[in-house]
Amino acid sequence: MTEKCAGEDNNEKFEVMLTAEQIETRIKEMAEVISHDYRGKKPLLICILKGAVVFLSDLIRCLNIPLEIDFIAVSSYGADTKSSGVVRILKDLEQSIQGKEVLIVEDIVDTGLTLSYLVDNLGSRHPNSLKVITLLDKPDCRKVEYKPDYCGFTIPDRFVIGYGLDCGENYRQLPDLCVLND
């Protein structure tokens, strides 16, 4: 039996991969570890727009350390369901990261191309440290070696939507993480 995602209409079939409750529980666990690792520090969390904004919002409410946030928008997908392999910065940071403890907050790591590019780009701006937090990791899709520092869930190679992730700018509002069936 296929469980329906909240918000599903009659014309589209979604299969729940992770419920909102499972995501919430895991974010709290991750926040506890990150708060411990950054105790006595004030990290700058850089949210990769647009997909990671829901994750960032829930994560920062669970962290019990002082922090700053900034946003960067990059694209390697366009409106497609496969990465083009070409990463473009659409919106850059509003502040310098030089000398700061930086945590990149990503929704999903699949090919590794976007994060590899961002880590190189942001690393050249001389932060004190630079680590990656991702809600989802799809290691079977890697085109470049990359392992996030903090990972919520490792998932199979399926195209997922909901909880901030989209397909053609649709479905971000779904509270569960769902597989969009063709």
Number of domains within the chain:
1
The predicted model gives 98-108 an average pLDDT of 97
Please give the pLDDT value at position 146.
Answer: 85
Residue 36 in domain: yes
Compare 88 and 136 and report the one with higher pLDDT: 136
Residue pointed to by tokens 């630079």: 130
Q: Of the residues 107, 110, 137, 166, which is catalytic?
A: 110
CATH of the domain at 55: 3.40.50.2020
Residue 176 in domain: no
Residue 151 in domain: yes
Residue 10 in domain: no
Please give the pLDDT value at position 71.
Answer: 98
The predicted model gives 141-161 an average pLDDT of 93
Count of other CB atoms within 10 angstroms of residue 55: 26
Residue 164 in domain: no
Residue 1 in domain: no
Q: Which domain holds residue 126?
A: 20-158
Q: List Cα–Cα distances, 120 to 81, 123, 167, in angstroms.
A: 25, 5, 27
Cα angle for residues 28, 138, 38 (degrees, 5° grid): 35
CA distance 10 to 3: 13
Predicted confidence (pLDDT) at residue 83 exceeds the cutoff of 60: no
Please give the pLDDT value at position 10.
Answer: 44
Q: List Cα–Cα distances, 4 to 16, 22, 28, 175, in angstroms.
A: 6, 16, 25, 12
Using an 8 Å Cβ cutoff, are 172 and 7 in contact?
no
At 1, the amino acid letter reads M
**Catalytic residue status for 9:** no
Predicted confidence (pLDDT) at residue 132 exceeds the cutoff of 80: yes
In the chain, the percentage of residues whose pLDDT exceeds 90 is 74
